[in-house]
Amino acid sequence: MLFRAILIAIAAASAGAMLYVGAYQTRLVEHLSCPLLKNGCEAVADAPFARPFGIPDGFIAAAIYLLVIILALLHPQIGWVLWSLRTLAVLATAANLLGVFDMSRLGAWCFYCLLTTALSPVLVWLAFLL
């Protein structure tokens, strides 16, 4: 039960961070505050790689994390729920690592993206502990 609560908290923090980035990408938020990294967050959010399929990646990531929360709130002992949750956690981690690779090529860093990337291994570990 504790592992599930921590998993939900990590997914909620990640979803919130990515919703904020997505809001900037669609200009619902005029400026993206970027702790520690100055204008790097805006540079990354405005980069061409930040819109796969024409959709702001902040919203794509937030949707993945919200699905993780929903699945964690369901009965995770059910096989398909558990494996779907694990698959989404691994997918989020892979997407975050790809984002870090893209940021390194761009030469700019996004605090929120790095935060979710740092939390991703813990999310996967917790998903496999359930």
Give pLDDT tens digits for 71-102: 999 987 889 999 999 999 999 999 999 999 99
111-129 and 57-73 helices cross at what angle (nearest 10)?
20
Distance, in Å, from the CA atom of 91 to the CA atom of 111, rounded to the nearest integer, reads 20
Number of structural domains the chain divides into: 1
Query: Which of the residues in the chain have pLDDT under 70?
Result: none
Query: Which residue in the block uniquely carries the two structure tokens 């005029």?
Result: 30
The whole-model pTM stands at 0.94
> Cβ distance 28 to 45 under 8 Å?
no
Q: Looking at residue 78, what is its pLDDT?
A: 87
> Cβ distance 15 to 65 under 8 Å?
yes
Query: Which residue in the block uniquely carries the two structure tokens 């794509």?
Result: 60
Q: What CATH number is given to the structural domain containing 57?
A: 1.20.1440.130
Q: Looking at residue 41, what is its pLDDT?
A: 95
101: containing domain? 2-129
Distance, in Å, from the CA atom of 22 to the CA atom of 41, rounded to the nearest integer, reads 11
Q: Looking at residue 125, what is its pLDDT?
A: 98
Q: CA-CA distances (angstroms) from residue 90 to 10, 23, 30, 106? A: 14, 24, 32, 24
